[in-house]
Structure 1
Amino acid sequence: MSTNFQVLTIGDAMITMNPVTTGPLRYVTHFERKLGGAELNFAIGCARLGLNAKWVSRLGKDEFGRVIYNFAKGEGVDVSEVEFVENHPTSVNFKEISESGAGKTFYYRHHSPILTLKPSDIHDDILSGVSLVHITGVFLAIDDVNFSIAERILQLAKSKGIPVSFDPNIRLKLWTIEEARETYKKIFPYVNILLTGLDEIRLITGFDSTVDLEKFAKNYEINSLVIKDGEKGSKVYQDGKWTEAKAFKVRAIDTVGAGDGFDAGFVYGYLHNYSLEETLQFANGVGALVTTVSGDNEGLPYLEEVNAFIHNENIVER
C-alpha cells in the first residue's frame, strides 16, 4: 500500500494572487487567491498519489495562514509540524501575466514566518517512520540560517539511513547564483536523488556535456541524477548509464508546479521499486497533467488519474 511510505519536506508556503487580466501589474485591479510554495506543492502531489506526506513549516497567525493550513490538512498532508507564529505575516506573492502568456512574480515575504524556525526545532521524532526526505533550494534561499536547519535534517536522515531527494529549484530573486552554488556544494554530499532541470544543472555546475555531468554525479556519490527537460522528456543517470523517457504531448495552460509534480511522481516510483523507465514515465505523466490546469497545485493528479493517462495517453476527465 502507498500509505506505508512517508515523505518529509520542509519549506515556506504563500498566498498567490493570480491576475484576472493580463498586462502590467499596476493596471490589474482584480486577482484570484490561490496557494503556492514548492515544498507545499510537492507535499500535496505526494498526498494525492497516496503517500503519507509530512510538511514542516511555520505560518503567520493570521487569516492567510489559516487558509494554507486548512487547505494542506484537507489534502491529507500531515501538518503536525506546522505552527502558527505571531507578528510574522504569512507570505504573499503577486503574478503578472503578459499578453504572450509569459509571467513575472513579485514576492512579499519579508519577515516570513519560516524565519522563526530554528535548527533546535528539528528533533529525532520528526523523522520517525519517514521513508524519504525531500529538500529544495527555495527553502535554502530564503535565509542563511535555513542551511543549518536543512543540514540538521540531512544529518539525521543520513544517520538513520533515510534517502534524500533534492531539487535545486533556483530562485535568483532570492539569492545570487554564486550563493546558490556554494550552498549546493554542501548539500550534494547528502543527496541520493538529484532532481534538476537541464538548464538549471548547467547553471549550477557550468557543465554542458553528459560526460561532465556523469563525473559530477560520481564525485558527489549521487545515486540518481535526474534531468527534467520539459516537453523534451526526462532522463536519469544511474548505475553508470542513462535512461530516458519521452514527454507526453498535452496542451499546456500553466507550467507552474510541473517540476514539483514531477518530483512527487519520481519519488513515488522510486519508493515503489518501479524500473527506471517506469519511474520516468510516471513522473513525466504527473508533470504533464499539472500543466493542463491553471494554478500552482490545482493540476496535481491523483494516482488513478496518472495511471489512466500514461496507459491511454489521453487527458482524463477532471
Structure 2
Amino acid sequence: HLCVIPHFPEFDSKLKMLDFRQQGGGQAATAMVACQRLGLKTRYLGKVGDDDFGRYSKKSLEDEGVDVEGVVVVPGARNQFAFILIDQHTGERTIIWDRDKRLVICPEEVPRDIICSAKVLLVDGHDAAASVQSAKWAKNEGIIVVMDAERISEETAELISLVDVVIGERHFPERFTGIPDLKEALAEIAERGPRVAGVTMGKEGASAFCDGEFYHSPAYEISCRDTTGAGDVFHAAFIRALFEDWDLKRCLDFSNAVAALKCRGLGGRTALP
C-alpha cells in the first residue's frame, strides 16, 4: 500500500494522503519483474498467503510473465504486506511491514531442480537457511549467485562466502564488518568469498570492490517521486548486466540508470523500463 504524504505525521495526529496505490512488492519479487522487463526469463520461488493479498501478489507476477511454478500458497496464512509512506517532496519512503511466520521457507522445502536450472540465482535476507542451501546447490553447478544484503542473521557470513556478488544497502557493510570506512568494509566482505562486494547509496550512487580495486558510480539527477524498490531494481539491472561483456564500472552505471528510471513513478514497478 503506497501512500504519498506531504510530511511525516506526528503521533496522535491525522494526515490526509495525497495519492494512494496498491502494488505487488517484495525484494526478490520486484527484482524478478524488473529482470523480466529487461528481457530475461525469470522464475520466483516463495510462499504467499491464502488471502486476497496473496492471490494479488501471485497474479501480479504472472501478469509480468514471471514463472510462478515455485510459488506455494500456504493455507490459512496471511500474506506479507506493507504500508509505505512516501514523502511528496523528496520521494524518500518509510516502510511498515508484517510477515506471517507460516510464510518462512525451510531448507528442505526448496526445490533443487528449479534452483539448478537457473543461470543466475538471486537471494535476499528472508529465509536465510533456505538461501544458504540454495546457494550451495547453485555453486556446485557453477551458477552465478547474487545476494541482496540487508538483514543480518547467524547465516549471513556463511551465505556471503557462497555468493559471487553481494550488494548491500548503504549501512550493511559497516553493520556486518564493524568497519566504518566504506572501502575497507567492502574489501573485508570481498575477502570472505564474493568476487564483487557492493553497496547502493541512494542519491549518492553505488560503489563496489572487485579484484583489489574500488569503483564508484554517481547517481543520475532526476525528479524523484518514490525511492521504493530502487535497490531491488538495481540488483535486477546488475543481473542483466552480467549477461553483457561489460566492466564493473559500466555495470554499476547501467544499474544506477535503471534504478533512477524506476524512481520516476510510485512503487517498485510503475516506471520500470
Match of 2:242 in 1: 270
Match of 1:82 in 2: 71
How do 1:93-242 and structure 2 match up within 5 A? 93-97=82-86, 103-109=93-99, 111-115=100-104, 117-137=105-125, 139=126, 146-170=127-151, 180=152, 182-209=154-181, 212-213=184-185, 215-242=187-214
Worse overlay, 238-247 or 261-270: 238-247
- CA shift, 1:118, in A, is 2.7
Query: Quick check: 1:91–1:112 contact (8 Å CA) kept in 2?
Result: no
- CA shift, 1:27, in A, is 3.2
Query: Quick check: 1:46–1:268 contact (8 Å CA) kept in 2?
Result: yes
Match of 1:19 in 2: 3
Gap runs ≥5 in structure 2 = none
Task: Work out the CA distance in 1 between the residues paired with 2:200 and 2:134.
Answer: 25
- CA shift, 1:28, in A, is 5.5
Match of 2:50 in 1: 61
Cα-to-partner distance string for 1:262-299 (whole Å, 9 max, x where unaligned): 11111111122222222111101011111111113222
Q: Structure 1 residue aligned with 2:263, among 286, 291, 312?
A: 291
Letter in 2 for 1:300: L
Letter in 2 for 1:86: P
Task: Work out the CA distance in 2 between the residues paired with 1:267 and 1:61.
Answer: 31
Cα-to-partner distance string for 1:171-227 (whole Å, 9 max, x where unaligned): xxxxxxxxx253321211102101123432122212133552354134212201123
Cα RMSD for the two superposed structures? 2.4
Task: Work out the CA distance in 1 between the residues paired with 2:242 and 2:25.
Answer: 25
Change (3 A) 1:120 1:288: same
Task: Work out the CA distance in 2 between the residues paired with 1:53 and 1:203.
Answer: 31
- CA shift, 1:259, in A, is 0.8
Are 1:243 and 2:215 counterparts? yes
Letter in 1 for 2:97: Y
Aligned length: 267
Query: Quick check: 1:166–1:191 contact (8 Å CA) kept in 2?
Result: yes
Gap runs ≥5 in structure 1 = 1-16, 140-145, 171-179, 302-318
- CA shift, 1:90, in A, is 1.2
Match of 1:92 in 2: 81
Q: TM-score, normalised by structure 1?
A: 0.76
Change (3 A) 1:53 1:214: same
Report the structure, 1 or 2, having the larger helix content: 1
Task: Work out the CA distance in 1 between the residues paired with 2:139 and 2:116.
Answer: 13
Change (3 A) 1:96 1:187: same
> Alignment identity in percent?
24
Letter in 2 for 1:169: E
Query: Quick check: 1:245–1:281 contact (8 Å CA) kept in 2?
Result: yes
- CA shift, 1:106, in A, is 2.4
- CA shift, 1:108, in A, is 3.1
Letter in 1 for 2:2: N
The DSSP-based 3-state class of the residue aligned with 1:208 is coil
Worse overlay, 245-254 or 93-102: 93-102
